[in-house]
Structure 1
Amino acid sequence: MGEQDFVRKKGSRLFIGEEPYRFAGPNIYWLGLDENVGGIDWPTPFRVINALDTAVMMGANAIRSHTLGVSAGHPKSLMPQLRELNEDAFVKVDFALHEISKRGLRVIIPFVCNWRYYHGGKSTFTEWRGLEDENAFYTDTEVIADFKWYIEQVLNRRNTISGVVYKDDPSIMAWELGNELNSAPAAWVEDICSYIKGIDQNHLVSHGKQFEIDTDKLDIPQLDIMDVHYYPADSGELSADAKVVSGAGKVFIAGEYGWSYGELHAFLKEAELNEDISGTCFWSLFGHDDHGGYVQHYDGFSVHYPGSGLNQDHLNRIQLLRGHAYQIRGRIVPEEEITDAPLLLSAAEGRISFRGVSGGAFYTLEKSTEGPEGPWTTIIERRPANDGGGWKDPLRVKTVKAYYRMKALSLGGEEGPYSEPVESEAF
């Protein structure tokens, strides 16, 4: 990506060069720091790559990711303590941004969160200054200076992998002032927008609250994008909000929406057909676990593509998300192609655990008792659930050494490559 590849604003629309730009994709909030791995830790390279590959397979051309910017107050945060930076944490963000760029994706990155979550929020900044009222985040001069200092460090960070300074990275679509800043005063929004633009003239700036339009911010010149969230997905509200924001000359996006209930089809169709809507990001995508199966997050909105252990309605809704990502860009929905092989983690005593692949809807297990070159016999064919473990060879003979291999298949039956054979000793 070069200078001509930045996402720009013209009126109430987005462009890359002279081409209109509209987007769809997931929120992958945990790319910089995760809470879903038995504690708070950085996601492994596999998990970052697997999630981004899955997003691309779902048709995404953009994502939104909180923890690439919202990261304060934890030992593994970008800023563990006030005005102290964590180089190890920044290297993890470097990696994620580099992988995002390699896939031609764009990312929206918030700087802070309204809520008291593990990745830190506005309360983290106020508590560092001994303030009990977290809304002093918007008024206390020391806290505002601290927040600006943090923003400056992020904007001027040089990626240790690509060598690109964040403020010069075209894969970043926009900086978002914060996630769901419901009570942000207009004066504060204008001040922070101006501060960002004073350092970074390349990127757009976004703002939004949890629900509804923050209408008193629509006349702030330095603000480019208004982000509204929808739980449930409501096409009427979406249309009405887009009209107001577009009429004020701002870009309108639905930065989050719930996909698992409500009138999803009508919501997505409105987004596709309504030119006042520049993009949508569903909440939220999780990929495969390093140790088998999918990473679980029990909020009722976790997408495990193409679906595992879900009812048919949810499986259908996940396919709607994929179709929408192509439709909003005016693209034909392609057939899925499985390019990766599963990783067999263990086959001890004929008990199979494995790590799945992007787009794997079914898995087939084969066995050889003659050697790693075969011949191979199918013992489990097209099992629909990737639980990553609990599979058992139904023909296991204790006294016979065996070898196992697997392949994944897409929903349409497209076969991927075989895994490397794994040996299971006699027992």
Structure 2
Amino acid sequence: MVELTFPICGRRTALAGLAAAGLAGCSGARGVLAPPKRFVATRGMRFVRGGGWYRYTGANAWYLAWLGSDTKYGDRARLRRELDRLQSIGVGNVRLLAGAEESPVKNSIKPGFETQDGTLNRSLLTGLDVAMAELGKRGMTAVLYLTNNWEWSGGMMSRLYWETGRYKDMNDPADPWPAFPDAASAFYANRDAVERFFRSVRMLVGRTNTVTGTAYKDDPALMAWQLANEPRPGVSPEVMQAILPDYYRWIDDSAALIRSLDPNHLVSLGMEGTIATDGDVEIVARAHRNIDYLTAHIWPLNWGWVDGKDLAGTWAAGAAKVRDYIDRHVKLAATLGKPLVFEEFGFPRDGELYDPAATTQFRQRFYRMIYAAAEASRAAGGPVQGTNFWAWNGEARAQHPDHRFRDGETQYMGDPPHEPQGWYGNFDSDDAVIAIVRQHAQTFATA
């Protein structure tokens, strides 16, 4: 391998240049050029692969390992159909879940990859192998996230429960927001929980695919290992300040561990951006010091920027906040000299309805806004290198009039089981949205 090391700027130096967003000379992580035609690497603000510029249109589909398993909850034929659909519209990258922890935490998915007694779900691991093999057949790449800040896949709260016997539930009336994320942030300081996480990392990063016979570290279908989905250092200011040293240590140690096991692939954090730090850009910059690229997640409804029942009346103000959020992260990535991916972005159907028959006029506007920003960055030589919409529902349909998932059901959607099925995900019948994705894929690849 040829390794390119970029200069490391101090935090004060790096952040002082935000107004001069075009300067890309500062980088806190190594840039690695992999052997031609194999691995995705970074060169300054670009992804490269096989000697050329690598940029992509992507999707989120957390459930692919479940479909790939040879069990009652698996459906390998559907897995292949969904990947064929995504490929046909120009999606070249999929972000999927590769770690889920079973526990009493409300909404933690079952089955998961691991249980409290250390039992690994071999069928689900094989399902991940199948998903990776199918992605590789199609020339697609994957981002695999290893745990979750939130409860729906068990995540950090479950790992804390395994070690302490205590947990909180998200949206518990007795413990209102932000009790859950504040409590979950104790994970970073719990050495037993972190060490057990490291054991799971060693297991997966060191795994050999049982379908292809290729070690994960040698698989060109893997773009990046991602530490977690939306890892936050708590929410309350006092909690955040107390936990930051442990948060940074967990990020740096996790990244170093992965690189020691796999020198070929990128390491990502999976952070939402400044929404996770109460607007503090310096925390985001420090968190990515040893991370290969930045991510931004954009959720106008969840963050209260729009009203799902009055999208027409709240769109303009919400759109302005979205543009500001995008600009802020483009400038930060440019200052740090690293690629940026709009890794999650979601918007409800009109009227915040869930049925596939509901229209998507405002979702279409939102997608166009995100894609236009990515295309403008690309045209200007900026840092945006990828987009992953949330999420792909494909052929799945809600099984009940209340659009709620029941334990034991297998119609997995991009909307996780704890959310209304059809809230943010795109169905295979969403022709207007699909057309926008397809057009962006063509433009982003050639602009």
For this structure pair, what is the TM-score category when the shorter chain's length is used for normalisation?
0.5 to 0.7
Q: Scaled by the length of structure 1, what TM-score is found? A: 0.68
Kept in 1: contact 2:294–2:339 (CA 8 A):
yes
Amino acid at match of 1:127: Y
Q: For 2:295, what is the secondary structure of its paired residue?
A: strand
The one-letter amino acid paired with 2:251 is V
Distance, in Å, in 1 between the alignment partners of 2:72 and 2:345 is: 26
Q: In the alignment, what sits opposite 2:437? A: 321
Query: Residue 282 of structure 1: which of 347, 364, 389 is its match?
Result: 389
Cα distance in 1 for partners of 2:212, 2:93 equals 19
* Whole-Å separation in 2 of the counterparts to 1:204 and 1:25: 17
Measured against aligned partners, the alpha-carbon deviations of 1:120-178 in whole angstroms (never above 9, x if no partner) come to: 21111111112534322101111110000000100011111100111221111111110
Letter in 2 for 1:186: Y
Shift in Å at residue 246 of structure 1? 2.4
Q: Deviations over 1:84-133 (max 9, x none)?
A: 3222221111101100100000111111011111x321111111112534
Shift of 1:326: 2.0
The counterpart of 2:341, out of the listed 248, 253, 266, is 253
Give 1:62's match in structure 2, choosing from 93, 97, 100: 93
Given that residues 36 and 49 in structure 2 are in contact (C-alpha distance below 8 angstroms), is that contact kept between their aligned partners in structure 1? no
Q: 1:401-416 to 2 correspondence within 5 Å?
A: none
Q: How does 1:160-175 map to 2 (within 5 A)?
A: 160-175=210-225
Matches within 5 A, 1:101-140: 101-117=136-152, 119-132=153-166, 133-140=183-190
| Counterpart for residue 49 of structure 1 | 80
Which amino acid is the alignment partner of residue 387 of structure 2?
T
Of residues 7, 22, 40, the one that matches 2:55 is 22
Aligned to 1:10: 43
Q: 1:52 to 1:187 in 2, by over 3 A?
A: same
Tell me which residue corresponds to 2:423: 300
Are 1:272 and 2:302 matched, yes or no? no
Q: Which residue of 1 aligns with 2:204?
A: 154
* Contact in 1 for aligned 2:101/2:158 (Cα 8 Å): no
In structure 2, the partner of 1:229 is 297
Higher helix share: 2
- CA displacement at 1:3 relative to structure 2: 6.5
Q: Distance in 2 between matches of 1:291 and 1:211?
A: 31
Task: Give the unaligned 5+ runs of structure 2.
Answer: 1-33, 104-108, 167-182, 234-243, 301-318, 349-362, 400-410, 416-420
Question: In structure 2, which of residues 279, 285, 294 is the aligned counterpart of residue 218 of structure 1?
Answer: 285
1:345-356 alignment, distance < 5 Å? none
Contact 1:189 1:217 in 2 (8 A): no
Residues 20 and 259 of structure 1: CA distance in aligned 2, closer, same or farther (over 3 Å):
farther
What is the CA–CA distance in structure 2 between the aligned matches of 1:14 and 1:274, rounded to whole Å?
14
What's the % identity of the aligned pairs? 25
Letter in 2 for 1:50: R
**1:23 counterpart letter in structure 2:** Y
**Whole-angstrom CA distance in 1 between matches of 2:100 and 2:337:** 28
3-state SS, counterpart of residue 108 of structure 1: strand
Q: Match for 2:254: what amino acid?
A: I
Counterpart amino acid of 2:76? P
Deviations 1:280-326 (A, max 9, x none): 1001102225999x86652421111242xxxxxxx433321221122
TM-score (norm 2): 0.65
CA RMSD of aligned residues (A): 2.7
Q: Distance in 2 between matches of 1:134 and 1:318?
A: 36
The amino acid across from 1:302 in the alignment is: G
In structure 1, distance between residues paired with 2:425 and 2:82: 12
- 1:17-73 Cα deviation digits (max 9, x unpaired): 220111112101111237xxxxx964310121111111101111111112x334555
Q: How far apart in 2 are the matches of 1:326 and 1:11?
A: 24
C-alpha distance in 2 between matches for 1:71 and 1:26: 23
Of 168-177 and 296-305, more deviation after overlay is shown by 296-305
Q: Is the 8 A contact 1:286 1:303 kept in 2?
A: yes
- SS for the counterpart of 1:29 is coil
Higher RCO (C-alpha under 8 Å, 6+ residues apart):
2
Task: Tell me the SS of whatever aligns to 1:209.
Answer: coil
In the alignment, structure 1 segments of 5+ residues that lack a partner are 35-39, 308-314, 332-427
SS at match of 1:222: coil
Summarize the Cα distance change of 1:94–1:3 in structure 2 as closer, same or farther, 3 Å threshold: farther
